[in-house]
Amino acid sequence: MCGIIGCVTRKDDMVPTLVEGLRRMEYRGYDSAGVAVLHDGRVDVRKTVGKIEALAGVLSGDPVIGGTGIAHTRWATHGEPSAMNAHPHSDSTGKIAVVHNGIVENYRPLRRQLETEGHSFQTETDTEVLAHLIEKYYTGDLAAAVRAALAGVHGAYGIAAIHADEPEMLVAARNGSPLIVGIGREGYFVASDVAALVRHTKDVVYLDDREMVVATPDGFSTTTLQNVSITKDVERITWDVDQMQKNGYPHYMLKEINEQERTVMDAVRGRLIEASGDAFLGGLREHRDALKKAERILILACGTSWHSGLIGEYMLEDLARVSVEVEYASEFRYRNPVINPGDLAIVISQSGETRDTLAAMGEVQRRGGTTLGIVNVVGSSIARQSDGGVYTHAGPEIGVASTKAFTSQVMVLAAIALSVGRAHSISVIDGRRIVRAMLDIPSQIGDILGQSGKVEKIAEKYAGHQNFLYLGRGYNFPVALEGALKLKEISYIHAEGYPAAEMKHGPIALIDEKMPVVFIATQDPFYEKILSNMEEVKSRGGRVLAIATEGDTEVARIADDVLEVPDTLPHLMPLLAVVPLQLLAYYIAVLRGCDVDQPRNLAKSVTVE
């Protein structure tokens, strides 16, 4: 939700490094930003409303220098985006600075208590209470003061703090929001996301909940919040800064759409066995039996990951004959669900930090169920706290609208369904056919990407509309949901995904020339019915944009515009049909002048409720 970074060195030129680190995390939140550094026995703070660029402007006009500091890019949860509410936040003395990613759920009673003790607050934020709590408990030891302060805090946090009287000290702690320690050549870093550190180090330590790091330029120590020393493994980051660049694309989102030709293969590389028509996922090795014997599989996720989960449900029931229930994590966690000991939950999350998904996973674990993660960010909370799982290996996804992570999730789900299916009812012949079809997907996506120019042209015809309906059946129904989400989240156009058959139960009343309808009308078992649905729309004056199978002439006879995709097995079609919808949303958003990579009100990882 927000991005934090901190460093502790004996240099005096670390401000550009802190700002650069914020830029790498701008997708996490970008309504205001700030930096605080220690210099000459004081804390110098610069902060502003707006993006990192605005902060860079403030710093160029009013520079600060220092080697130990903290910085923050914000996605507002309490208090409007403003320079005053931007982090870092200070205490009454101005000697303490704190940055925070998360929510202090009990900040109101804490603030009231502190005010009765004489503290005066400058902002509307929950975070400011952390600075005053540290001040309250500070007796010359910042680490001890942070521990004492956090003992009374409820909620999610990743925080970093500095004190003017301890110029070579950086203290950070986490509970529910990610925090990583970077081992640099001339000092140490903390950050919400590896992306902020990867230019300076590839050796990192992932903190877990209720853990803390105390760092000086000469080293760091990790403890629990109760000051019990703990040893953490140093892990090596495998990707580099280049993967964070746009590589010539105008936006990260377009780059990531085009990366799918490779990333869908990365998701299953070394995991498909053509000879036996099977799939083997190392991260599930200890859970193959649990998967095969599961009487019920839950799939927990949010947003786009929920859409891939819905495809996973259709796949697992169709191919593996196991009962599956897909749940919005935010609903599941609070509705007192029935979890039977034999239940198994697949937890899908690109970031591995989505608060609702993490909490839903905890509910399953609390009630004896097994949890398997399908996660993109290595070392993320869901990856580390689940009982097992699979990385999607899509690489860093910077665009807030998820694209390559979605198709990688679907590829992994297809591999899981094949693996479990082969243990039940899928023959080796059918298994080989599925493997071959999966191996064709990357080049087929490449063919679709070659049509980008045609999609851009069609986007020009539709960019002015204010409402869209996306319709699909079977495996293409979740694709309709995903296509609609892509459009609405980056172009701010209202778009609804619906099962095509449901249109006559209400939404058909919306149909007129101002309401384009996007049909996913590929040649699958529902093809004839989809054609009828398209006719129903046309007969009411609606405009139809259809995704059709290459060479289809029937759809072209009915639709106003057609985008073709190669043919594949029905359960793999989402991997192809979604690509033109991603491109359509992208080009419409660009035509409407929207901020494609950082849409308003959104953040890449929703680490608060």
Just list the catalytic residues.
Answer: 2, 604
> How many residues sit close enough to ligand AGP to count as binding (CB under 6 A)?
15
CA 445 to chain centroid, in Å, comes to 23
Question: CA-CA distance, 567 to 413, in Å (whole number)?
Answer: 20
Cross-sheet strand order for the sheet of 467-472 = 494-499, 467-472, 517-521, 544-549, 561-565
Tell me the backbone φ, ψ of residue 353, rounded to 5 degrees.
-130, 0
Q: Which of residues 65-124 bind ligand AGP (CB under 6 A)?
A: none
Per CB under 6 A, the list member of 127, 192, 216, 350 interacting with ligand AGP is: 350
CA 429 from centre of chain: 37
Which of 305, 371, 407, 598: binder of ligand AGP (CB under 6 A)? 305
Contact segment (CB under 6 A) with ligand AGP among 39-47, 239-247, 300-308, 583-591 equals: 300-308
Instruction: Provide, rounded to whole angstroms, the least separation between the CB of residue 323 and ligand AGP.
Output: 24
Q: Which of 125, 304, 408, 568 binds ligand AGP (CB under 6 A)?
A: 304
Return the number of the residue (484 or 517) whose C-beta is nearest ligand AGP.
484
Instruction: For ligand AGP, give the closer residue by CB, 370 or 582.
Output: 582
228 φψ region: left (φ > 0), alpha (ψ -120 to 50), beta (else): beta
CB of 357 vs ligand AGP, minimal distance in Å: 5
Measured from the CB of residue 353, what is the shortest distance to ligand AGP in angstroms?
Answer: 7
Among 175, 177, 351, 549, binds ligand AGP (CB under 6 A): 351
Tell me which residues in 9-48 interact with ligand AGP (CB under 6 A): none
The verdict on whether omega for the bond into residue 516 sits within 30 degrees of 0, i.e. cis, is no
* Closer residue to ligand AGP (CB): 264 or 401: 401
Token pair of 487, please? 């459009």
Give, in order, the Cα–Cα distances in Å from 607 to each of 10, 156, 334, 359, 466: 33, 8, 17, 11, 30
544 bridge partner residues: 517
> Looking only at residues 464 through 503 of this chain, which bind ligand AGP when binding is defined by CB under 6 A?
489
- Region near ligand AGP per CB under 6 A, out of 212-220, 264-272, 351-359, 385-393: 351-359
Report the residue number, 261 or 489, with the smaller CB distance to ligand AGP: 489
Using CB under 6 A, pick the residue from 52, 173, 190, 302 that binds ligand AGP.
302
Query: In the set 73, 77, 354, 568, which binds ligand AGP (CB under 6 A)?
Result: 354
Nearest CA to 349 out of 606, 575, 73 is that of 606
| Selected binder of ligand AGP within 126, 606, 607, 608 (CB under 6 A) | 606
| The one among 123, 260, 357, 523 contacting ligand AGP by CB under 6 A | 357
Q: Residue 224: how many CB atoms within 10 A of its CB?
A: 15
605 is a contact residue toward ligand AGP (CB under 6 A): yes
Could you tell me if 300 and 313 are in contact, meaning their C-beta atoms sit under 8 angstroms apart?
no
CB of 110 to ligand AGP, least distance (A): 29
Among 9, 349, 385, 476, binds ligand AGP (CB under 6 A): 349
Which residues are within 8 A (CB) of 175 and not within 5 positions of it... i.e. 6 or more apart?
Answer: 102, 150, 155, 156, 157, 209, 210, 225
Beta bridge partners of 176: 157
Judged by CB under 6 A, the stretch of 95-103, 138-146, 214-222, 303-311 that binds ligand AGP is 303-311
Looking at the Cβ atoms of 225 and 264, the one nearer to ligand AGP is 264
Instruction: Indicate the residue among 220 and 477 with the shorter CB distance to ligand AGP.
Output: 477
408 versus 549: smaller Cβ distance to ligand AGP? 408
- Cα separation, 592 vs 432, in Å, equals 45
Q: Which is nearer to ligand AGP, 188 or 332 (CB)?
A: 332
Site string for ligand AGP, 548-577 (x = CB under 6 A): ------------------------------
Here the tokens at position 486 are 């892509």
Question: Applying CB under 6 A, which part among 297-305, 462-470, 512-520, 577-585 lies near ligand AGP?
Answer: 297-305
* Subset of 385-404 contacting ligand AGP (CB under 6 A): 400-402
Shortest approach of ligand AGP to residue 499 CB, angstroms?
A: 20
Indicate the DSSP class of residue 224.
Answer: E
Nearer to ligand AGP, 382 or 569 (CB): 382
Q: What is the length of the chain?
A: 609
Alpha helices in 524-564 (DSSP H): 527-538, 554-558
Give the nearest residue (CB) to ligand AGP.
303
Nearer to ligand AGP, 66 or 399 (CB): 399
Least Å from the CB of residue 575 to ligand AGP: 16
**219-224: strand order across its sheet:** 89-90, 96-104, 155-163, 170-175, 211-216, 219-224
Taking the complex as a whole, the smallest distance from the CB of residue 302 to ligand AGP amounts, in Å, to 4
Contacts of residue 81, defined as CB under 8 A and 6 or more positions apart, other chains included, come to 31, 32, 49, 74
Angstrom distance (rounded) from CA 115 to CA 471: 55
Please choose, out of 63-71, 346-354, 387-395, 436-444, the segment that lies near ligand AGP by the rule CB under 6 A. Answer: 346-354
Q: How far is the CB of 283 from ligand AGP (least distance, A)?
A: 17
Pairing relation of β-strands 370-375 and 388-391? parallel
**Can you say whether residue 334 is alpha, beta or left, with left for phi > 0 and alpha for psi between -120 and 50 degrees?**
alpha
Question: In the block, which residue shows the tokens 């010359």?
Answer: 140
Q: How far is the CB of 599 from ligand AGP (least distance, A)?
A: 9
**Nearest CA to 61 among 74, 46, 51?**
46
- Name the minimum Å distance from CB 325 to ligand AGP: 18
Q: In what order do the strands lie in the sheet containing 323-328? A: 323-328, 296-301, 344-349, 370-375, 388-391
Alpha-carbon gap, residue 482 to 499, rounded angstroms: 12
Q: Closest CB to ligand AGP among 217 and 303?
A: 303
CB of 265 to ligand AGP, least distance (A): 20
Binding region for ligand AGP (CB under 6 A) out of 74-82, 281-289, 343-351, 572-580: 343-351
468 neighbors 494 (Cβ within 8 angstroms): yes
Residues of span 402-431 touching ligand AGP by CB under 6 A = 402
CA distance 386 to 384: 6
- Give the binding site for ligand AGP (CB under 6 A): 302-305, 349-351, 354, 357, 400-402, 489, 605-606
